[in-house]
Structure 1
Amino acid sequence: MKRETLKAPTQSELEILHVLWERGPSTVKDVHETLGASKPVGYTTVLKLLQIMTVKGTVTRNEHDRAHIYEAVLPAERTKRQLAGDMLQKVFGGSASELVLHALSGRKASHEEIEEIRRLLDEYERKLP
């Protein structure tokens, strides 16, 4: 099965994707209001970004109603997994340990985060052949 290639979203596109993942299918107005709650952003900027994202295949647009409804094409986990995998290959030469070491050295992880990482590694290790 061929892996779909995800064009890396810009920071602004990722912010819109987060809104769509949290809210589900949304109008431009919904996305604009949600983003505007944390920082100033223009309605036409959100509209233009959603149009670009539609062309890129990152979101779909339902045009059945007067207010178009936008929806993320891929679920959050799949997008994050693919972006992380791409970064792992491009930046760290495929070395998962390099990625984790750099991520943890860049900022202090909480005790809870470290415990979650340990739990995930144990779970991952149990699934190995």
Structure 2
Amino acid sequence: MLRDKSDIKPTEAELTLLNILWKMGPATVRQIHENVSQTQQTGYTTVLKILQIMHEKALVIRDESNRAHVYAPANSEVVTQSSLLKDLVLKAFGGSKSKLVMRALDDSTSKEEIEDIRKLLNELEQQS
């Protein structure tokens, strides 16, 4: 059975590489490896293999016009975050966005964060 490509969610390792690509823009395996190596020990071939898998899953696109292939995210950060969030809301919170927000807003939420959330809610309310 063929799986819908929009259904594919990145793994933790894939998200690490996507976050690098969203910050850097299109990059070679070497550039991505150098960046990821600043925070964790990962071999070059491991990064290459993950990117190849991500390409098969249509999470990244690959420019093969040069000797060193250049990888770029197939979707924007916002699109990917929205997809992951929708999946989380459905699976962990029974489809309830308010349950997600209530769980996210715990005792560790700062006054500044609460004020930012208030502003966002006011903006959303004005748009309705």
TM-score (structure 1 length as normaliser):
0.90
1:68-117 CA distance string (max 9 Å, x none)? 00000111011111111111112111111100111123x61222221111
2:113 is matched with which residue?
113
Structure 2 distance, partners of 1:123, 1:71, is: 33
RMSD: 1.6
Counting only pairs closer than 5 Å after superposition, residues 19-58 of structure 1 correspond to structure 2 as 19-58=20-59
Structure 1 distance, partners of 2:111, 2:43, is: 39
Gaps of 5+ in 1: none
Structure 2 distance, partners of 1:124, 1:86, is: 22
Structure 1 distance, partners of 2:83, 2:125, is: 21
Identity of aligned residues (%): 45
Gaps of 5+ in 2: none
1:90 is matched with which residue?
91
Following TM superposition, by how much is the alpha carbon of 1:122 offset from its aligned partner in structure 2, in angstroms? Answer: 1.2
2:70 is matched with which residue?
69
1:50-79 CA distance string (max 9 Å, x none)? 000000000011000000000001110111
Runs of 4+ in 1 over 3 A off after TM superposition: none
TM-score (structure 2 length as normaliser):
0.91
The 1:19/1:6 distance shift into structure 2, 3 A limit, reads: farther
